[in-house]
Amino acid sequence: MQMASEATIKFMYIKKISVLLFFIAISLSTSANNGYDLWLKYEKFKDIKLISAYQSKLKSVSISGNSATIQKAKEELAFAIKGLLGSNIKWKNEGIENNSLLIGTPSSNKIIAGLDIKELAQINTDGFIISSQNIKGANCTIITANTDLGILYGVFNFIRLLQTAQNIASLNIVSSPKIKFRMLNHWDNLNRTVERGYAGFSIWDWHKLPDYIDKRYVDYARANASIGINGTLVNNVNGNATILTKQFLEKVAALANVFRPYGIKVYLSARFSAPMEIGGLKTADPLDSNVRAWWKQKTKEIYSLIPDFGGFVIKANSEGQPGPQDYQRTHADGANMFSEAIAPYHGLIIWRAFVYSQQSKDRFKQAYEEFIPLDGKFNSNVIVQVKNGPIDFQPREPFSPLFGAMKKTAVGMEFQITQEYLGQGTHLVYEAPMFKEVLDADTYQNGKGSTVAKIVEGNQFSISLMAGVSNIGNDINWTSHPFAQANWYAFGRLAWDYSLSIETIAKEWIEQTFSNDKEFVRTTQNIMLQSHETLVNYMTPLGLAHMMYNGHHYGPMPWGNTLGRPDWNPIYYHKADTNGIGFDRTINGTNALAQYNDAVSKMWLDSNTCDEKYLLWFHHVSWQHKMKSGNTLWEELCYKYNIGVDSIKKYEQQWALQEKNVNPEQFNQVKQFLHIQVKDAEWWRDACLLYFQTFSKLSIPAKYPQPTKTLEYYKSLRFPFAPGN
- Residues catalogued as catalytic: 319, 392, 420
Query: Would you list the DSSP string of 203-244?
Result: S--TTTTTT---HHHHHHHHHHHHTT--EEE-S-SS--GGGG
Burial class (CB within 10 angstroms; exposed 0-12, middle 13-18, buried 19+) of 596: buried
Q: Please provide residue 218's backbone torsions phi and psi, each rounded to the nearest 5 degrees.
A: -65, -50
Identity of the residue numbered 318: S
* Cα dist from 143 to 73, 132, 158, 224, 573, whole Å: 11, 9, 8, 20, 52
Cβ contact 685:645 at 8 Å: yes
608: number of Cβ within 10 Å:
11
Cβ contact 450:181 at 8 Å: no
Dihedral angle at the C-alpha atoms of 617, 618, 622, 628, nearest 10 degrees?
-80
409: number of Cβ within 10 Å:
24
Dihedral angle at the C-alpha atoms of 340, 345, 348, 349, nearest 10 degrees?
-30
What SS3 state is found at 32? coil
Give CA–CA dist 358/649, Å, rounded: 41
* Cα dist from 147 to 65, 133, 153, 234, 317, whole Å: 10, 20, 10, 26, 40
Cβ contact 188:235 at 8 Å: yes
How close are the terminal C-alpha atoms of the chain, in Å? Answer: 61
What SS3 state is found at 339? helix
Cis bond before residue 210 (omega within 30° of 0): yes
* Cα dist from 285 to 300, 315, 351, 352, 699, whole Å: 20, 15, 17, 18, 58
Give CA–CA dist 372/370, Å, rounded: 6
Which residues, listed in sequence order, are joined to residue 451 by a DSSP beta bridge? 442
∠ CA(383), CA(389), CA(395), 5° rounding?
Answer: 135
**Strand ranges for 363-425 from DSSP E:** 382-387, 411-416
Question: What is the dihedral sign for C-alpha 449, 451, 455, 456?
Answer: negative
